[in-house]
Amino acid sequence: MRAVVQRVTSARVTVGERTTGEIGQGLLVLVGVDQGDGPSDIQYIASKIRDLRIFQDDNDKMNRSVLDIGGAVLVVSQFTLSGDARNGRRPSFASAAPPEIARALYEDVVRELQDSGLRVATGEFKAMMQVALVNDGPVTILLDSRKNF
């Protein structure tokens, strides 16, 4: 499982003209589910998102988590995070989990974050979405439950 975590002052996801999720200060998280992902991947990604200390403390150091600041998380599914563009010019998505499996694991990540006390908004699984954000810093962190990076 992979995630792109962006510290934001605001973020919104729309499908057509309809807003499906919107937050103020917090994290925009794009999540991609790979074949073979399971409970340990969910646990790893959700705990990293919850506990990642990328918000400034009183001494201007990145030392506070989204939970510490009372921020929110906007979680958006993005199967293209499983894309492999090492060969040729067209990425392969062969390692992406099938939609029915990916949806369940994506929803488990959302539920795990909600259960930890975070306010969580979401995109719409398998929809063509538009994501608008104000990246704060900018701060962008890549996570991979298999620790490939």
At 6 the three-state DSSP class reads strand
* Catalytic residue selected from 6, 55, 78, 122: 78
Per the rule left: phi > 0, alpha: psi between -120 and 50, beta: everything else, 36 is left
Q: Quick check: is 80 catalytic?
A: yes
Which pLDDT value is given to residue 96?
A: 97
What three-state secondary structure class fits 49?
helix
Q: Which residues pair with 92 in a beta bridge?
A: 84
Cα(56)–Cα(52) distance, integer angstroms: 12
Active-site residue (options: 19, 20, 56, 80):
80
> Is pLDDT above 90 for 86?
yes
Residue 35 annotated as catalytic:
no
pTM (whole model) above 0.85: yes
Q: What does the pLDDT read at residue 148? A: 86
Task: Say how far residue 91 (Cα) sits from the centre of its chain.
Answer: 21
Give catalytic status of residue 140 as yes or no: no
Place of tokens 């510490």: 68
CB atoms within 10 A of CB 78: 20
Please give the structure tokens belonging to residue 94: 């062969």
Q: Is 33 left (phi over 0), alpha (psi -120 to 50) or beta?
A: beta
pLDDT single digits (tens) 110-148: 999 999 999 999 999 999 999 999 999 999 999 999 998
Among the options 6, 55, 79, 122, which is catalytic? 79
Q: Given a cut of 90, is residue 149 above it in pLDDT?
A: no
Question: How many residues are given for the chain?
Answer: 149
Average pLDDT, the chain: 97
pLDDT of 39: 98
For each of the domains in the chain, give its residue range(s) and CATH number, in order of start: 2-144 (3.50.80.10)
Whole-number percent of the chain with pLDDT over 90: 99
